[in-house]
Chains A and B, each alone.
Chain A
Amino acid sequence: MIETTLENKTEIKSSMVPALATIRRAIWETDDTFTLLIDPPADGNAFAFKPGQFNMVYAFGVGESAISISSDPAKPNMLAHTIHRVGTVTSTLSKLKRGDMIGLRGPFGAGWPVEEAVGKDVCITAGGIGLAPLRPVIYSLVRQREKFGRIIILYGARSPLDLLYRVELEQWSKLPNTEVIVTVDRGDSSWKGHIGVVTNLFSYIKMDSRSTLVMVCGPEVMMKYTVEELQRRGLSQEQIYISMERNMKCGIGLCGHCQFGPKFICKDGPVFRLPEVHHLLDKKEI
């Protein structure tokens, strides 16, 4: 007999073939970032997701991008992807209108530890588009506000015009025991808030270093400095989660592109508890 590890065909249809979905609305959040509100494919339940998971979003004839889901996980009948227009796929997606169709594969990957945060203080730290994969966490926390301790949202963007979800940031800041602090790299004449990098914001809050769980998403250099700052403030690596980005072609651990040392960012992450990847973060070009 041939000795193999072959198992019965997976229940998931073909994991490299997208399901088709229809755009309900496109919202421009900033000059170069937009949110697509999407009616999930017919079998809507297949796209129920956990905060931090992503879909491979296919633009007709152009290609796919791995994009985190930015909507409320309690409402899987309306998916949102907040997308930064940078390459050919995202440019094509940016031109789509109500009724246009896209392909979706997903949801893939490990999400944020919302369950583990129950009973604890939660600090959300985001840079730029990094707020998008964290928004589903915030929705989850807010929905069951009484289950969590203090909520701190620290957010940095390039300029006031680059801030995502301004209305929601305002609303969240009014919730009990919740702080939202925003900073920008460069202000403008109307900006009265903080200026500087997001790590500066830690000096405005007093965190309980024992009972806080921190979730960080942003450019890798921002996450690196945030992690250093948190450790200086007495948090252990176990209390810190980060979400990582790498090139992804399949999203399901088969194409090899997203490897970071032994980890496949797509299936072992994108969200990692810090000790899983910390030893590689300082190494160049891993």
Chain B
Amino acid sequence: MDTTLKLKINNLPQLFAALQSRGYTTVGPTLRDEAIVYDRIDSADELPIGWTDEQAPATYRLKKRDDNAYFGFNATPQSWKRYLYPPQRKLFSIKKNGKSLELLEEKDSNVKYAFIGVRSCELNAIMVQDKVFNSNEYKDDSYNSIRKNLFIAAVNCTQAGETCFCVSMKTGPKARSSFDLALTEVLTENEHYFVVEIGSENGASIMAQVDAAAVNENEIEEADKIIRQTESTMKRSMETADLPELLSENLEHPHWDEVAKRCLTCGNCTMVCPTCFCSTVEDVTDLAGQNAERFRRWDSCFTMDFSKVAGGSFRISPKSRYRQWLTHKLSSWVEQFGTSGCVGCGRCITWCPVGIDITAEVQAIRGVETQSEGSFGQQKGV
């Protein structure tokens, strides 16, 4: 079988059907609450056909396109993280029986997800979390139980969002590996189709169930041209050279105080980030105090509770909490997991209520080292 195929838009529903016939729950982008979100969708007509988003620091708005593109938008508010690593998961139930306790462990999920429309930045984020949850002696079994059954249909970005900076992070806009299928949407005056690259045996076997034709040189070139255009129109960037060292050597840089004046410590950036993995645990009991449950749920390093011990919180100032997030993401993450924690999706910029821009903050810290003191004030995000 060819490794690249042409899938006409009218045959896209067959891809959904093929995946569902193999027991996959299909998840993809759809319109909900005036946003494009990832949700369970059963057919291609639930995709946000003809819609796009306008993003900027602290701004997200849906907009009608003047064409019928199926994937003509950029990063959704939430990433795929919530499927692989659910915001809340029960760990166990426990029951009191006189003096003794009886514990019932929550079983791992055996759900089979097919993600349709994974962008290259998000694919990289999944690979980052693969490392996070498997880097030491103790693996995250619940993550792995969902991850091992995952089917990934990536979609290459045909436009650059205002807050995107994947090119500088070397994570996009084209999916390079680790997918089952990678689709590039081509929409010309006469034709609407996907160039489908097959990335795994599983991907090939799914495509065998779908009516797809051979693709010619021109069509491949057309798809590549669109991706190159996405690349060349991406405005934001982050200079990553020596970034881990730059940040770990500048823990007392005056710019942290400057960001802290704007940061509301709301934690939005950590919730929308596709790699942020911190969690806490919560215990609940019934009124009689005989039955209890324990849950794991997402947590954010922006809360005071996050660093709390008997003697108080270690990170009280907003400055220290923002610094923890940024230095972890871009610096200590590299030492911990051998990769940056940032994939350049830009969600933290879009969803920060005051529009703090991670790329501008990094530039400001870099600025003092290479430029005069006065210049960094002008580079801040808002």
A contacts, CB < 8 Å to B: 1-7, 9-10, 12, 14-18, 20, 60-64, 84, 86-87, 90, 99-101, 103, 219, 245-247, 249-250, 252-257, 259, 261-262, 264, 267, 283-286
Question: A14: which of B141, B180, B200, B292 is its contact (CB, 8 Å)?
Answer: B141
The complex places the Cα of A188 from the Cα of B96 at a distance, in Å, of 45
Question: B103: which of A1, A61, A103, A286 is its contact (CB, 8 Å)?
Answer: A103
Most buried by B among A4, A62, A100: A4
Could you give, for residues 362-373 of chain B, a 1 whenever the CB lies within 8 Å of some chain A CB and a 0 otherwise? 000000000000
- Point out the residues of chain B lying under 8 angstroms from A84, CB to CB: 310
The complex places the Cα of A286 from the Cα of B321 at a distance, in Å, of 9
Q: Does B88 contact A (CB under 8 A)?
A: no
- Point out the residues of chain A lying under 8 angstroms from B301, CB to CB: 256
Tell me whether A16 and B91 are in contact (CB under 8 A): yes
- Point out the residues of chain A lying under 8 angstroms from B91, CB to CB: 16-17
Q: Does B258 contact A (CB under 8 A)?
A: no
Tell me whether B141 and A9 are in contact (CB under 8 A): yes
The complex places the Cα of A86 from the Cα of B178 at a distance, in Å, of 48
- Point out the residues of chain A lying under 8 angstroms from B54, CB to CB: none
The complex places the Cα of A262 from the Cα of B103 at a distance, in Å, of 35
Does more than half of chain B's interface fall in helix, strand or loop, or is it mixed? mixed
Known: A247-B308, A264-B336. Is A2-B152 also a contact (CB below 8 A)? yes
Could you give, for residues 231-250 of chain B, a 1 whenever the CB lies within 8 Å of some chain A CB and a 0 otherwise? 00000000000000000100
Known: A1-B200, A257-B307, A262-B335. Is A7-B251 also a contact (CB below 8 A)? no
* Closest-CB distance, A267 to chain B (whole angstroms): 6
In the complex, 27 of the A-B residue pairs with CB atoms within 8 angstroms, ordered by the A residue number, are: A1-B201, A2-B200, A3-B178, A4-B147, A4-B178, A5-B131, A9-B141, A10-B139, A15-B138, A20-B103, A61-B292, A63-B281, A86-B310, A99-B99, A101-B101, A103-B103, A247-B308, A254-B140, A255-B278, A257-B280, A257-B307, A264-B336, A267-B136, A283-B252, A285-B314, A285-B317, A285-B320
What residue in chain A is nearest B332 (Cβ atoms)?
A262
Known: A60-B94, A60-B96. Is A247-B306 also a contact (CB below 8 A)? yes
The complex places the Cα of A264 from the Cα of B332 at a distance, in Å, of 11
Interface residues of B in 129-161 (CB under 8 A from A): 130-141, 144, 147-148, 150, 152
The complex places the Cα of A284 from the Cα of B130 at a distance, in Å, of 32
Tell me whether B141 and A7 are in contact (CB under 8 A): no
The complex places the Cα of A59 from the Cα of B152 at a distance, in Å, of 41
Number of interface residues of B (CB under 8 A): 68
- Point out the residues of chain A lying under 8 angstroms from B289, CB to CB: 61
Question: B136: which of A16, A90, A252, A284 is its contact (CB, 8 Å)?
Answer: A252
The complex places the Cα of A62 from the Cα of B96 at a distance, in Å, of 13
* Closest-CB distance, A87 to chain B (whole angstroms): 6
- Point out the residues of chain B lying under 8 angstroms from A9, CB to CB: 139, 141, 144
* Closest-CB distance, B120 to chain A (whole angstroms): 14
Known: A1-B201, A9-B144. Is A253-B135 also a contact (CB below 8 A)? yes
B contacts, CB < 8 Å to A: 91-92, 94, 96, 99-101, 103, 105, 127, 130-141, 144, 147-148, 150, 152, 177-180, 199-201, 248, 251-252, 277-281, 283-285, 289, 292, 296, 299, 301, 306-311, 314-317, 319-320, 324, 328, 331-332, 335-336
- Point out the residues of chain A lying under 8 angstroms from B103, CB to CB: 17-18, 20, 103
The complex places the Cα of A261 from the Cα of B332 at a distance, in Å, of 6
The complex places the Cα of A105 from the Cα of B329 at a distance, in Å, of 29
Question: B277: which of A100, A256, A262 is its contact (CB, 8 Å)?
Answer: A256
Question: A249: which of B200, B280, B285 is its contact (CB, 8 Å)?
Answer: B280
What residue in chain A is nearest B279 (Cβ atoms)?
A255
Tell me whether B324 and A259 are in contact (CB under 8 A): yes
- Point out the residues of chain A lying under 8 angstroms from B309, CB to CB: 245-247
- Point out the residues of chain B lying under 8 angstroms from A259, CB to CB: 324, 328, 332
* Closest-CB distance, A105 to chain B (whole angstroms): 10
* Closest-CB distance, A50 to chain B (whole angstroms): 14
- Point out the residues of chain A lying under 8 angstroms from B136, CB to CB: 252-253, 267
- Point out the residues of chain A lying under 8 angstroms from B96, CB to CB: 60
Tell me whether A6 and B147 are in contact (CB under 8 A): yes
What residue in chain A is nearest B98 (Cβ atoms)?
A99
What residue in chain B is nearest A284 (Cβ atoms)?
B320
The complex places the Cα of A99 from the Cα of B98 at a distance, in Å, of 10
The complex places the Cα of A5 from the Cα of B126 at a distance, in Å, of 11
- Point out the residues of chain B lying under 8 angstroms from A256, CB to CB: 277-279, 299, 301, 328
* Closest-CB distance, B81 to chain A (whole angstroms): 14
Known: A87-B310, A259-B332, A285-B320. Is A100-B99 also a contact (CB below 8 A)? yes
Most buried by A among B141, B200, B317, B328: B141
